Amino acid sequence: MKWLVAVDDRSIEIDSEQLVSVEEVEPGVYSVLLDGASYEIRLLETSQGLSAEAGGRRFIVDVRNPRDASRSSSAAVGSGRQNVAAPMPGKVVRVLVQLGDKVEAGQGLVVVEAMKMQNEMKASRPGRVIEIRAQAGDTVSAGDTLAVLE
């Protein structure tokens, strides 16, 4: 049977029969022999889906049965609203903007501290602050929305 596997944004077709050259050598670690070349691939289920590490690179992979290959790919980006989310768990140190502020691309919005480092969350493009969901002292988890821009 043929399968489609999305590796990042590239789509690769594989026949089940090819899997004879794949060996799970440790839990989640696969050795692949391909035309005599040896590869080691680490796979891990993450919140963003299946994540792979190989050759010092990271990949997001998605296995699709060809029969339901019509499934839509990753969400569109760059449209009107912009959610500024915490990239890691931490503590909000400071909010640098106020509701209604106009901000430039690259302008700092919220400062989050984790692992003794302060990190400034920045606007990825110009906009206006229409919502602030964080305040100094808050503990936030990865992915929590801190502010919304329009």
- Residue 90 CB, shortest distance to other proteins, in Å, is 6
**Residue listed under structure tokens 């990949």:** 59
21 binds other proteins (CB under 8 A): yes
Piece of 10-18, 72-80, 98-106, 130-138 that binds other proteins (CB under 8 A): 10-18
Beta-strand pair 82-85/145-149: antiparallel
19 binds other proteins (CB under 8 A): yes
83 binds other proteins (CB under 8 A): no
77 binds other proteins (CB under 8 A): no
- Residue 132 CB, shortest distance to other proteins, in Å, is 20
**Residue listed under structure tokens 């919005």:** 109
Q: What are the distances in angstroms from CA 38 to CA 6, 23, 32, 34, 72?
A: 21, 11, 6, 7, 33
**Which of residues 61, 85, 130, 148 is near other proteins by CB under 8 A?**
61
- Residue 24 CB, shortest distance to other proteins, in Å, is 7
Q: For residues 121 and 109, is the Cβ–Cβ distance under 8 A?
A: yes
Ranges of beta strands (E only) in 8-138 are: 10-15, 22-26, 29-34, 37-46, 49-54, 57-64, 82-85, 90-95, 102-103, 108-114, 117-122, 127-132
Site residues (vs other proteins, CB under 8 A): 3, 5, 7, 10, 12, 14, 16, 18-19, 21-22, 24, 26, 28-30, 32, 34-35, 37, 39-44, 50-59, 61, 63, 87-90, 114-119
